[in-house]
Chain A
Amino acid sequence: MRFSFGNLLRQARAGHTGWGPQWRDAEPKAAYDVVIIGAGGHGLATAYYLAAEHGICNIAVLEKSWLGGGNTGRNTTIIRSNYLCEESEALYEHAMKLWETLSDTLNYNVMYSPRGVLMLAHNEHDIRSLKRHIHANRLAGIDNEWLTAAQAQAFCPILNIDADLRYPVLGAALQHRGGVARHDAVAWGYARAASELGVDIIQNCEVTAIRRGTDGAVEAVETSRGRIAAKKIGVVAAGHTSVVMAMAGLRMPLESFPLQALVSEPVKPVMPCVVMSNAIHAYMSQSDKGELVIGAGTDAYVSYAQAGGLHIATHTLEAICELFPVTRRLKMLRNWGGIVDVTPDRSPIIGLTPVPGLFVNCGWGTGGFKATPGSGHVFAATLAHGVPHPIAAPFTLDRFRTGRLIDEAAAAAVSH
């Protein structure tokens, strides 16, 4: 049933008893045209665009646990497109444009809120680096502007700009169109729209093996719910990509790390925007429920334990208390971790693999939520045609051999 004012009224009169489930909890069939491994935002968006824009509807999205329970449901939902390299600008801006109309496209309120993302500079290097981003973005037609410390405080009144801070705020880059969206709604909205177009979303279905024919091409996957045949397989498994790709005999340029976030007890609106500080590893925004949503750093070592070290969270909270003194007496309600797959150049890998029929979309690391619509959109085109979508073309797996890295790692020094 479509969400509309008319339907809302009709359901209200019927005591809201007529709303059906939002997607079918499908049973696996023996074969599909395309199998997507991983029902996170990126996998679901891929399935949706395959069905909606390429007419390929005989698709299964296989999920080992529950839909959206991976990084999609664990992230701090920061959205922005002010990256440095031209290839990244094109990719993240493509996603940004899709965010702007996504609720209409999906007939589902994803609560995209372009409330502005402030990135703080704490030293001379930060200032130069952020200004370099601003100039690069301007050349690409992407909004990003420089604010003095006083202007930054005017934009975010609870920001502490005292000169005697250990890491004083010397200025900030502001992307007005940046902001946040509701992470669960993004997964649910894509799931609902894809399911309506005939896509089977199969939860509690872990892929345990990838079968290849005598020609080397993929033939099927083995899962905890039986064998499922497909000539095209898209791996969108985030932190578990190395594990899944190993099933096809491939090694990946990836390392998996736990990344943490926390939320505080809910308070009245105090935080009008998103503030990020790469230098001291702290990010904060406020959810519509009133919780302050805080992002921390990754653990130093490879791990699949979905919880990060306490000293990492402590470090972030110290920085938050210094930057936002009003938070000092707040209690933290919850703290959790997600496993992020990090590439050497901190750019994603989208495209073909050496195994015929096997495609991969991974390496989004600490910052792929913002790309969800764009990632699904270009990956769907890549899967449908068997050649990379022009925006995805630079993000090949092969770039690590040719040396054409897209080095956002050097550009940002750290995450997001």
Chain B
Amino acid sequence: MLLIPCPYCEEPRPEIEFRYGGEAHIARSADPTGLSDAALADYLYFRSNPKGWHYERWQHQSGCGRFFNAVRHTVTDRIIGTYKAGEPKPDLALYRVRAGS
């Protein structure tokens, strides 16, 4: 079970308090009707699904109830950082320097 640091509650909490929300930073188009079928399919269905670092959404469902993003490694499950919804995608290099990896 993961221990996930909620950036609002500012403490690590067990995974079962959270709900996974899929890949982060997939923005809905401001003009969805103007999208081509391929672009709409990409938004709806295609995912990066990397073997490595993954930016992903979580909701602290049984805690503060709020959405935030996490950067987690999909092989080691290590979480090197979480940040509040709406904040820009952090630079992975910075995290890795701080985390010493």
- In the complex, whether A139 has a CB less than 8 A from a CB of chain B is no
Query: A243 to B51, Cβ gap below 8 A?
Result: yes
Query: B72 to A251, Cβ gap below 8 A?
Result: no
Residues of B within 8 A of A402 (CB): 37
Complex partner residue of A256 from B16, B20, B49, CB under 8 angstroms: B49
Please list the 6 inter-chain residue pairs (A to B) with the smallest Cβ-Cβ separation, ordered nearest first: A242-B49, A253-B45, A300-B20, A401-B41, A301-B20, A400-B45
Q: In the complex, how many angstroms separate the beta carbon of A51 from the nearest chain B beta carbon?
A: 32
**Which of the segments B5-13, B74-82, B91-99 contacts the partner chain?**
B74-82
- In the complex, whether B101 has a CB less than 8 A from a CB of chain A is no
- In the complex, whether A305 has a CB less than 8 A from a CB of chain B is yes
Measured between alpha carbons, how far is A128 from B23 in the docked complex, in Å? 33
Given contacts A309-B1, A401-B37, contact A254 B49 (CB under 8 A): yes
Measured between alpha carbons, how far is A298 from B1 in the docked complex, in Å? 13
Q: In the complex, how many angstroms separate the beta carbon of A238 from the nearest chain B beta carbon?
A: 13
CB under 8 Å from chain B, chain A span 238-294: 240, 242-243, 251-256
Which B residues have a C-beta under 8 Å from some C-beta of A?
Answer: 1-2, 15-16, 19-20, 22-23, 37-38, 41-42, 44-51, 54, 56, 72, 74-77
Given contacts A242-B49, A256-B49, A304-B51, contact A251 B77 (CB under 8 A): no
Query: B56 to A302, Cβ gap below 8 A?
Result: yes
- In the complex, whether A311 has a CB less than 8 A from a CB of chain B is yes
- In the complex, whether A344 has a CB less than 8 A from a CB of chain B is yes
12 contacts between A and B (CB under 8 A): A240-B51, A242-B47, A243-B51, A251-B48, A255-B47, A300-B20, A301-B20, A302-B54, A302-B74, A304-B74, A401-B37, A401-B41
Complex partner residue of B74 from A252, A300, A303, A344, CB under 8 angstroms: A303
Query: B16 to A311, Cβ gap below 8 A?
Result: yes
Chain A interface, number of residues (Cβ within 8 angstroms):
23
Query: B46 to A253, Cβ gap below 8 A?
Result: yes
- In the complex, whether A310 has a CB less than 8 A from a CB of chain B is yes
Query: A251 to B20, Cβ gap below 8 A?
Result: no
Complex partner residue of B41 from A242, A243, A254, A400, CB under 8 angstroms: A400
Query: B45 to A344, Cβ gap below 8 A?
Result: yes
Query: B1 to A304, Cβ gap below 8 A?
Result: no
Query: A304 to B75, Cβ gap below 8 A?
Result: yes
Query: A305 to B47, Cβ gap below 8 A?
Result: no
Q: A251-B48, A301-B20 are in contact. List 17 more A-B contacts (CB 8 A).
A: A242-B47, A242-B49, A243-B50, A251-B46, A252-B49, A253-B46, A255-B47, A256-B49, A300-B20, A301-B56, A302-B74, A303-B75, A303-B77, A305-B74, A310-B1, A401-B41, A402-B37
Q: In the complex, how many angstroms separate the beta carbon of B18 from the nearest chain A beta carbon?
A: 8
CB under 8 Å from chain B, chain A span 307-341: 309-311
Query: B47 to A254, Cβ gap below 8 A?
Result: yes
Residues of A within 8 A of B54 (CB): 302
Query: B38 to A309, Cβ gap below 8 A?
Result: no
Q: In the complex, how many angstroms separate the beta carbon of B38 from the nearest chain A beta carbon?
A: 6
Measured between alpha carbons, how far is A240 from B49 in the docked complex, in Å? 9
Measured between alpha carbons, how far is A31 from B47 in the docked complex, in Å? 33
Q: In the complex, how many angstroms separate the beta carbon of A385 from the nearest chain B beta carbon?
A: 26
Measured between alpha carbons, how far is A331 from B75 in the docked complex, in Å? 29
Q: In the complex, how many angstroms separate the beta carbon of B78 from the nearest chain A beta carbon?
A: 10
For residue A253, which residue of chain B has the nearest CB? B45
Residues of A within 8 A of B47 (CB): 242, 251-255, 302
Q: In the complex, how many angstroms separate the beta carbon of A22 from the nearest chain B beta carbon?
A: 32
Residues of A within 8 A of B23 (CB): 302
Query: B41 to A302, Cβ gap below 8 A?
Result: no
Query: A302 to B75, Cβ gap below 8 A?
Result: no
Measured between alpha carbons, how far is A254 from B41 in the docked complex, in Å? 12
For residue A254, which residue of chain B has the nearest CB? B49
Measured between alpha carbons, how far is A242 from B54 in the docked complex, in Å? 14
Measured between alpha carbons, how far is A303 from B77 in the docked complex, in Å? 7
